[in-house]
Amino acid sequence: MNLTIYHNPACSKSRKTLELIEEHGITPKIIEYLKTPPNADSIIRIARLLGISVQQMLRTGEADYQQLSAQAADDDEQQWAAGVQNYPRVLERPIVVDEDSARAVIGRPPENVLKLIDDRS
């Protein structure tokens, strides 16, 4: 199984999601998105895999979200996605992508990742 986790080690939900993945014997590719933010094309791809808009995968309670929302038009996915590179804290966490099946989940709750793992078992 080829999983990628967009991970924030300071987040308990992200740590728990990673733990669940590893408990199933899977070693995911870990991207600490605060250190290495995904580019706009990656953000748009992830949103499509999740089946939601870029805005729906953002944490609206973050102060950085206000900055980003002032810069991006409501209907411009490209602007929102590009803004995540400048304000990576707004990205919901964790996001887990199954590269083999081209599916993704947000690990809130962490058990959401089991949808990817159990479907492949």
Residues 6+ apart with CB under 8 A from 41: 81
Alpha carbon distance 34, 117 (integer Å):
25
Catalytically annotated residue among 5, 9, 11, 46? 11
Q: Which residues contact 49 (CB under 8 A, 6 or more apart)?
A: 97, 102, 103, 104
Q: Is 11 a catalytic residue?
A: yes
- Residue 96 and residue 120: Cα distance in Å, rounded? 14
So which residues are the catalytic ones? 11
